[in-house]
Amino acid sequence: MNGKVVVFTTGGTIAMRYDPEIGGAVPAVSGPELIEAVPPLADVCPVEVREFSNIPSPHMTPKRMFDLAKQVEKALEEPDTLGAVITHGTDTLEETAYFLDLCIKSDKPVCLTAAMRSAAEISPDGPKNILCAVRCAACPEARGKGAFVVMNEEIHAAREVTKTHSANPKTFASPFWGPVGYVDADRIIFRRDSIEPQKIHPESIVDDVHLIKLVAGADDFLFNYLVDKKVKGIVVEGFGRGNVSPGAFSGMKRAVENGIPVVLTTRCLGGRVLDVYGYEGGVIRQKEAGIILGGEINGQKARIKLILALGMTQDREKLAEYFDRP
What residues are annotated to the active site? Answer: 13
Phi and psi of 13, rounded to 5°? Answer: -55, -35
Bridge partners of 185, per DSSP, are: none
Phi and psi of 309, rounded to 5°? Answer: -65, -35
Distance CA(319)–CA(174), nearest Å, equals 26
Distance CA(124)–CA(198), nearest Å, equals 34
Q: Are 62 and 205 in contact (CB under 8 A)?
A: yes
End-to-end CA distance of the chain: 33
Contacts with 45 (C-beta within 8 Å, 6 or more apart), sequence order: 1, 3, 4, 5, 82, 134, 138
Distance CA(98)–CA(119), nearest Å, equals 27
164: number of Cβ within 10 Å:
13
Q: Are 40 and 129 in contact (CB under 8 A)?
A: no
Distance CA(313)–CA(219), nearest Å, equals 30
Distance CA(144)–CA(20), nearest Å, equals 45
